[in-house]
Chain A
Amino acid sequence: MEQRDAVLQKKKGQVFHLLSGNVRRALERGNFDFMKLREIRMRVGNPLLVVYDGKEYQVTVDGDFQKSAEMPLRISSEDIRESLEYISNYSMYAFETEIKQGYLTVPGGHRVGVAGRVVWEREQAKSMRYISFLNFRLAHEVRGCADKLFPYIYEKNGIFHTLIISPPGCGKTTLLREMIRKISNGTDRHAGMTVGVVDERSEIAACYQGCPQNDLGRRTDVLDDCPKSEGMMMLVRSMAPQVVAVDEIGSRQDAKAIRYIMSCGVKLLATVHGETVEEMERKPVMRELVADRLFERYVCLRPGAVGEIQGVYDQTGKKIIPA
């Protein structure tokens, strides 16, 4: 119990430490379950908002969460500046790429979305100025969410080439992360395997200064902020993984890299946007991979739900579960 409290305090500290003094003090006064806190939204001139237990609330100066507060804590440009300085450790130059993408990963694997005036150069976002909107999206791991999948993705000598198909926001990255962790650590029945992760958008491992903030298991190597296609081949050449895991495949280069690593005897664990196996058969790049039966298992997540498995299919598209 004490250990759990200490972990919770640490997680809380990691987030609160990045908030401006005013916001931090208000939230510290509040009495709420940190694990249910999903988002903290700061917009200049507007009340501080939080998404707590699936609902949006305004935060008062005393840290109370109210649907419509009479005296909400209003965010000033100083609050944004202060938070940005804390997030970047007073080093905006160090987070240029992240700011261009619109988010930063911070210790604990949390994401801070930023918005402001975008500076364009040659039809590309060069940087962002006058940042006036911050959205702290808190990462909470969901342990055990992949447990019931495991009997279906393991074969004699390891795992099947597996593709997770899911619409956005249905938990495919969370599921992938949990699968990586379990495959890497091993289970009662299966020995742990060396997993190489290509984390193009720092979403899987959420690396901060090169260290994964999410637990991906003890036999996992991470290539952070690296294009998937190049990263897959780099991993095979350098780290000799038994399994390579990537998020959101879909380009021609990805397909080429997938064929390459499969020909090297490496197993693939990947995710893709979509809803069904049939849909994959219609997508330009995925169509060829599906037709060649490169994937041995398809895991489809239910649209509109979070983390709910709709079905597991074999390489011919035949449903395995639910039978």
Chain B
Amino acid sequence: MEMGRIMLCKVFGACLVFLGCGGIGIYMAVRSHVRIRIIRELEQVLQYLYGEIEYAAPDMAELMERLSVRKGFFSYFFERMRERILSHQGLRFQDYWKEEMKNIKEMETLSSSDRELLIQIGENLGNLDRMTQLRTLELFEKRLSEIRSKAEKEYYGKARISIVVWATGGIFLVLLFL
């Protein structure tokens, strides 16, 4: 009876360890998918900016306001950007951009090169003439598209490896504890 209870506890513990490790694997896979979603959203943002600037060239405050009402990772960021632009505190646009970027909580899912690219986008917004502005946006959009397709290609392999490795690790731990 006592042995049976101990065995039951061990099996239960083993299941927990296995599920926990598997869970971490799934979490890691989802995390790398968030990166893809962020990049995709950024691409859409740049497309939107391109279209709006080409069509009617509204100013940055107006564009940030319109972007802030779209649901996504960046809506609060754009709302804050609009507030900062209209606050006239003496900083440059890219300084506001850099500061507000720190408050995006999903930022940690991006690689350092992604973050660097995001900063560069901020540095190249607003202070150019219309034609150069459009060309710059196009260039960044192209770069983001490349990064996204590379990340998407790598994603399935990476996600599978992550889940398998963590699940195998779980089995190993279970065997070790048993």
A96 lies within 8 A of chain B by Cβ: yes
In the complex, A92 Cα to B124 Cα: how many Å? 12
B129 lies within 8 A of chain A by Cβ: yes
Question: Contact between B130 and A90 (Cβ–Cβ < 8 Å)?
Answer: no
Which residues on the A side are within 8 Å of B125 (C-beta)?
90
A263 lies within 8 A of chain B by Cβ: no
In the complex, A217 Cα to B48 Cα: how many Å? 36
A-B contacts at CB below 8 angstroms, number: 58
Question: Contact between A89 and B90 (Cβ–Cβ < 8 Å)?
Answer: no
> Residue of B at shortest CB range from A84?
B127
Number of residues of chain B lying within 8 A (CB) of chain A: 22
Partner of A93, one of B86, B88, B90, B128: B128
B47 lies within 8 A of chain A by Cβ: no
Q: Which of A111-139 contact B (CB under 8 A)?
A: 127
A92 touching B58 in the complex, CB below 8 Å, given contacts A20-B90, A21-B90: no
In the complex, A94 Cα to B60 Cα: how many Å? 9
Question: Contact between B60 and A17 (Cβ–Cβ < 8 Å)?
Answer: no
B11 lies within 8 A of chain A by Cβ: no
Q: Which of A34-86 contact B (CB under 8 A)?
A: 82, 85-86
Question: Contact between A86 and B88 (Cβ–Cβ < 8 Å)?
Answer: yes
B133 lies within 8 A of chain A by Cβ: yes
Tell me the smallest distance from the CB of B64 to a CB of chain A, in Å.
Answer: 9
Question: Contact between A96 and B127 (Cβ–Cβ < 8 Å)?
Answer: no
> Residue of A at shortest CB range from B125?
A90
Question: Contact between A93 and B130 (Cβ–Cβ < 8 Å)?
Answer: yes
Partner of B60, one of A21, A91, A209: A91
A315 lies within 8 A of chain B by Cβ: no
Q: Which of B92-125 contact A (CB under 8 A)?
A: 92-93, 125
16 pairs, A vs B, C-beta closer than 8 Å? A85-B93, A86-B88, A88-B59, A88-B126, A89-B59, A89-B60, A90-B61, A90-B93, A91-B57, A93-B53, A93-B132, A93-B133, A94-B53, A94-B58, A94-B130, A95-B59
Which residues of B are at the interface with A, using a C-beta cutoff of 8 A? 53, 57-63, 85-86, 88, 90, 92-93, 125-130, 132-133
